[in-house]
């Protein structure tokens, strides 16, 4: 029996397939090179004022080993293949040129940015419980102990690669007291308002605005029932005056997860959430981490 010869593809066809394969590999490689480096969320707007956030672009293709603003470590973020320093600016900061120390394997260099002036409004509040304005001696002992715990939570640092920089609103309600107000309680001057107050009915759910870890919960003299969430690299959020706390220290929470409910514990005039945002251990405007529709009253165009 005669065997049929095997069918062989023409040489020109084999060469064409080889060329097409090589071109496909080349195109895929180019596409992979141009895919942006993954990042957790968009950057906040650059708002370099007292109580604001400076977003400083770095002239570096590699992630800096460390960035310092004075002696404080600064959050580092990647966006569209560029590295940025995301710097919290204290309400007490005066306008002028400021500097960052950027450390890398190549050494250290100084990067400058400008802080612009900003004026905040004044608020006068009447507190019926006079102890919450002029505490007794035993109250002061408690306040001093609690302050150490609160400060420790707000300065907490964890090395997290991708930090969420755009939050969801933690509670549905009315913005009752904006950030940065110069405050007077019963006609007595006190520190500026270091958070955003959101008024809502008692029992209204409070949600985690982004992924994080519960690093502290407690009942404090001024703050009432309070939770602190670590989001990474010195970004910590605080929730005060809560009615109920529904998470424990050490718990990992997801964005949108309920952490408690609105209350009126501590120094309050009505049920609300005092929501604070701490960045490199300074309190900053929480609206800067919310979607754009919540930033309409901020003059972002000048900075």
Per-residue pLDDT tens digits for 16-54 = 544 444 444 343 343 333 333 444 458 999 999 999 999
- Tell which of 84, 115, 146 closes a domain: 115
- Residues with Cβ within 8 Å of residue 160, at least 6 apart in sequence: 231, 232, 233
259: helix, strand or coil: strand
pLDDT level of residue 11 (50, 70, 90 thresholds):
low
**pTM for the whole thing?**
0.84
Name the residue range of residue 99's domain.
53-115
- Residues with Cβ within 8 Å of residue 146, at least 6 apart in sequence: 218, 220, 221
Q: Do 264 and 281 share a domain, yes or no?
A: yes
- Residue 73 pLDDT > 70: yes
CA 262 to chain centre: 21
Q: Do 209 and 194 share a domain, yes or no?
A: yes
- Residue that is written with structure tokens 């002061």 in the block: 140
In this prediction, residue 30 carries a pLDDT of 37
- Residue 199 pLDDT > 90: yes
Both tokens of residue 180? 């940065």
Residue 94 lies inside a defined structural domain of this protein: yes
CATH number of the structural domain spanning residue 199: 2.70.70.10
What is the rounded distance in angstroms from the CA atom of residue 151 to the CA atom of residue 149?
A: 6
Residues 154, 180, 254, 258, CA torsion sign: positive
| 303 against 35, higher pLDDT | 303
Tens of pLDDT, residue by residue over 236-289, are 999 999 999 999 999 999 999 999 999 999 999 999 999 999 999 999 999 999
- Residue 150 pLDDT > 50: yes
Evaluate whether 280 touches 85 at the Cβ level (below 8 Å): no
- Residues with Cβ within 8 Å of residue 118, at least 6 apart in sequence: 49, 50, 51, 52, 180
What is the rounded distance in angstroms from the CA atom of residue 287 to the CA atom of residue 294?
A: 6
130: helix, strand or coil: helix
| Sheet hosting strand 82-88, strand order edge to edge | 53-57, 82-88, 75-79
Q: Do 92 and 227 share a domain, yes or no?
A: no
Evaluate whether 46 touches 55 at the Cβ level (below 8 Å): yes
Q: Which of 7-11, 104-108, 154-158, 159-163 has the lowest mean pLDDT?
A: 7-11
In this prediction, residue 302 carries a pLDDT of 59
Q: Do 106 and 173 share a domain, yes or no?
A: no
């Amino acid at each position: 029996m005669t065997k049929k010869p095997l069918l062989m593809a023409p040489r020109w066809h084999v060469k064409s397939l080889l060329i097409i394969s090589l071109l496909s590999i080349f195109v895929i490689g180019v596409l992979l090179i141009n895919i942006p480096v993954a990042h957790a969320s968009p950057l906040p707007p650059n708002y370099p004022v007292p109580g604001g956030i400076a977003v400083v672009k770095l002239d570096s293709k590699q992630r800096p080993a460390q960035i310092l603003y004075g002696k404080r470590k600064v959050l580092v973020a990647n966006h569209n293949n560029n590295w940025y320093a995301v710097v919290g600016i204290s309400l007490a900061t005066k306008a002028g040129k400021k500097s960052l120390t950027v450390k890398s394997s190549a050494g250290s260099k100084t990067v400058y940015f400008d802080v612009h002036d900003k004026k905040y409004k004044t608020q006068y509040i009447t507190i019926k419980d006079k102890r919450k304005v002029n505490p007794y001696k035993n109250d002061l002992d408690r306040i001093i102990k609690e302050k150490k715990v609160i400060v420790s939570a707000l300065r907490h640092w964890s090395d997290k690669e991708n930090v969420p920089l755009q939050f969801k609103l933690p509670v549905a309600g009315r913005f009752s007291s904006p950030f940065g107000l110069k405050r007077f309680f019963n006609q007595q001057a006190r520190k500026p308002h270091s958070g955003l107050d959101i008024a809502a009915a008692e029992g209204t759910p409070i949600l985690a605005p982004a992924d994080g870890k519960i690093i502290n919960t407690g009942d404090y003299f001024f703050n009432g029932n309070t939770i602190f969430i670590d989001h990474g690299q010195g970004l910590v959020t605080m929730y005060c005056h809560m009615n109920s706390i529904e998470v424990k220290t050490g718990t990992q929470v997801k964005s949108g997860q309920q952490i408690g409910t609105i209350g009126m514990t501590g120094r309050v005039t009505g049920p609300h959430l005092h929501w604070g945002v701490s960045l490199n251990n300074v309190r900053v405007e929480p609206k800067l981490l919310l979607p754009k529709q919540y930033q309409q009253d901020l003059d972002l165009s000048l900075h």
